[in-house]
Amino acid sequence: MSPSVAGPSPHLPVVETFHSLQGEGVHAGRSAFFIRLAGCQVGCRWCDTKQSWPEAVHPALAVIELTRQARDAAAAGAAFVVITGGEPLHHNLTDLCGALRAGMGGATGGPLPLHLETSGVDPLSGRFDWITLSPKRHRQPTQELLKACDELKVVVHDPEDLAFAEAMAAAAKGLRAAGNQPALLLQPGWDSPGGQALATAHVLQHPQWRLSLQSHKWLGLR
């Protein structure tokens, strides 16, 4: 567990918020409002958002303000809210999820679905409609997140990442009922031709997996 995980908080450190298209995973291509929280102790060498790692340099915003922004994004067409990071579960997300569900209406009048993107190293807090688990070899996820995730997305740079992906898929399968398995995705590391070749070849030979690409980067989106 990260030492920064505490009780529910009405304020959270925020790197940025923005309305864009989800670029990765099962929901790629859909309109979404992103809340990127600050703070990460996982330390992936290939991380493309290292500016999110230090928590203290980013402002603490009230969950009421984040809810207002999400409500505006819903009015502008966002289909769901993505809470990402950094590592969002370094923080207790109970208050944030509660505020978003209570104070944010979508096009249908109800609250927008809440999605979480996490490495799974900390306990789950808050209530989500979709959980993307992106586990890391050097800091592996909790069984709680392996059991709860809706999609398991592993970044691939080298053959060891493929072996790790299969181990994570087997671990998730062992924790869940047969009809409750996560979607399995391999995502080549950005600017990693070797990772792209490995992931593509593996998906071609293993139909339970699908390929995830960072389409927002190809499109020049945030």
At 107 the pLDDT is: 52
Q: Is the pLDDT of residue 111 over 90?
A: no
To the nearest whole percent, how much of the chain has pLDDT over 90?
Answer: 87
Q: Is the pLDDT of residue 103 over 90?
A: no
Determine how β-strand 80-84 pairs with β-strand 114-118.
parallel
At 109 the pLDDT is: 59
**pLDDT single digits (tens) 28-69:** 999 999 999 999 999 999 998 999 999 999 999 999 999 999
At 219 the pLDDT is: 86
Q: Is the pLDDT of residue 105 over 80?
A: no
In whole angstroms, what is the distance from residue 59 CA to residue 65 CA? 12
Residue 134 is which amino acid? S
The CA-based angle 116-34-173, given to 5 degrees, is 20
Query: Which residues are bridge partners to 17 per DSSP?
Result: 35
Segment 81-100 shows an average pLDDT of: 97
**pLDDT single digits (tens) 172-222:** 999 999 999 999 999 999 999 999 999 999 999 999 999 999 998 888 888
Cα 222 to its chain centre, rounded Å, is 15
Segment 21-32 shows an average pLDDT of: 98
Give the chain's mean pLDDT: 94
At 1 the pLDDT is: 42
At 222 the pLDDT is: 84
Among 8-12, 106-110, 130-134, the minimum mean pLDDT is found in 106-110
The dihedrals phi and psi of 11, each to the nearest 5 degrees, come to -135, 145
At 3 the pLDDT is: 46
